[in-house]
Each structure stands twice: as C-alpha cells, then as structure tokens.
Amino acid sequence: MNILITRPLIDSEDLMGKLFSLGHKIIHIPTLEISAVKTESVDIKNYDALIFTSANAIRNLKAVNEAKSKLCFCVGSITEKIARQLGYHNTLSAGGTVNALKNLIINSNQINEKSKIAYFCGDNLAYDLDLELKKEGLKIDKIINYTSKKITDLNDQNKKIIANHSPDIIFVYSLRSGESFIEITRNHSLYPLMTGSKVMCISEKVANVFKSDGWKKVEVFNPGEELFKLGELKK
C-alpha cells in the first residue's frame, strides 16, 4: 500500500522503517514545523511531578538531569518510550488520549492536592488539560516549551509522488496537523487524487475536521496501532 505520514521525521522514522520493511511505499509530508521555546527560568526542583502530552515536550525540556527522577505522567506508550530513552525512569503511561491521561493523574495515589505539577506542552492545544485538572483541585503550571507552525506548501517532487502514487492510507496525529494537511490538498488541487484514500485520525475531533471537509473514508486510531490497523484493512 501507499502510506502517507504527516508527522515530522523525528517522530516518524521508526514507523516508516517498519512500514518499508513490510513492503509498503512511504510518502512523507510533514504538516507541522516544531520549534523549541527556551524555559531556562523553570526550576524543575520545585515540582513533584511532570506531565507530557507529546514527545516534543519531552525533547525540548533541557533540564533532564533534574527531571529524570521526577514522577512523569505520559499520554501514551510512545511518549513514555521517548521519556525513558532520554533518561526519565519514574514514568506512568495513559491509554493514548488526553482524557485517559487526565483520569490517570486524578486517580494516582502518588500525588495529592498539595503536589505541585508542571505540564509541558506546545502552544496549540486541542484540550485544556491544565484547566480540567485544576477543577479537580490539583496545582498545575502549564509551561509552553515548543511551538508548532503549519506547513501548507508542497514541493514539486511530493506533488509528482502523490499524482503517481495516490495514498491508500493517510495517518494524521493532531488537529492542527489535520487542518494543515487539508490546506495543502486544497492549495495544490490534490483532493481529487485522494478521494479513495482512507484518513486515519488520532481522535474523533480530528476525524470530524476531515468529515466536515468532505472526506468520505475517515477512521480513528490510537498511536501505536498503525500496523494493527493496516493488518485489519488487508483482511
């Protein structure tokens, strides 16, 4: 199958390698540009726990030595894997959704209303996790340590690839990424080439954006399920 990946390369290399080894053709069109935000003024020692809803938040936290022993709540297994690779060893993983992460945190017996928690995240969020946790009586500091900028341009090489190898599957990993991808398809008149493509979206909210834009084949998946979903489609 022809599979289009919209994540930045650093987040996609492992998956693309696995897909390629299985004989799939890979089309890589990143839809977001990630940039670090300096957070030197943040003193990790003041916090009892850390929250990460993406691998980018972990990579852009420079104070790893001070943070690696802290209790870390990760949105899913992939984020937790990155955290452990970077030296964090006291990690807990939710089921891959922010709502699951919220439940993991509020039901944890390792924190209480006196605990001080740092939530590291990007500048564009589809869910106000910090506000939801504050409603539960927790002390949360939201710290933006990376930004995401939409990429809506497309080079001639990728246009030709899509024209000659229309994707069977498109994986989309965030609301902003989905919006960016739709803009790309409209700006470059690519939508007619993808009417048969199945869009795999990380949440119902992302799926609804594609459905509202007229995409017919839209499905929701959890991060880490990509190979499983492809296996289901082959049946």
pLDDT > 90 fraction of the chain, expressed in percent and rounded: 70
What value does the mean pLDDT take over residues 121-135? 91
Contact partners, residue 123, CB within 8 Å, separation at least 6: 37, 144, 146, 147, 148
Q: Residue 49 has what pLDDT?
A: 96
Band of pLDDT at residue 223, cut at 50, 70 and 90: confident
Class of domain 2-31+151-234: alpha beta
- pLDDT of 126 above 80: no
Q: Residue 146 has what pLDDT?
A: 94
Q: Residue 186 has what pLDDT?
A: 92
Same fold, 2-31+151-234 and 35-148: yes
Among 47-51, 57-61, 136-140, the range scoring the smallest mean pLDDT is 57-61
Band of pLDDT at residue 21, cut at 50, 70 and 90: very high
Q: Measure the CA–CA gap between 7 and 12, rounded to whole angstroms.
A: 6
Q: Residue 97 has what pLDDT?
A: 84
Q: Measure the CA–CA gap between 123 and 146, rounded to whole angstroms.
A: 7
Band of pLDDT at residue 43, cut at 50, 70 and 90: confident
What value does the mean pLDDT take over residues 51-69? 85
Q: Residue 234 has what pLDDT?
A: 66
Q: Residue 232 has what pLDDT?
A: 73
- pLDDT of 78 above 90: no
Cα 214 to Cα 175, 179, 210: the distances in Å are: 16, 13, 7
Band of pLDDT at residue 197, cut at 50, 70 and 90: very high
Q: Measure the CA–CA gap between 210 and 177, rounded to whole angstroms.
A: 11
- pLDDT tens readout for residues 139-154: 999 999 999 999 999 9
Band of pLDDT at residue 95, cut at 50, 70 and 90: confident
Among 12-21, 60-69, 129-138, 186-195, the range scoring the smallest mean pLDDT is 60-69
pLDDT > 70 fraction of the chain, expressed in percent and rounded: 98
- pLDDT of 64 above 70: no
Q: Using DSSP bridges, classify how beta strands 139-150 and 32-36 pair: parallel, antiparallel or unpaired.
A: antiparallel
Judge whether 31 and 151 are in contact, CB under 8 Å: yes
The domain locations on the chain are 2-31+151-234, 35-148
Is domain 35-148 given the CATH code 3.40.50.2300 in the classification? Answer: no
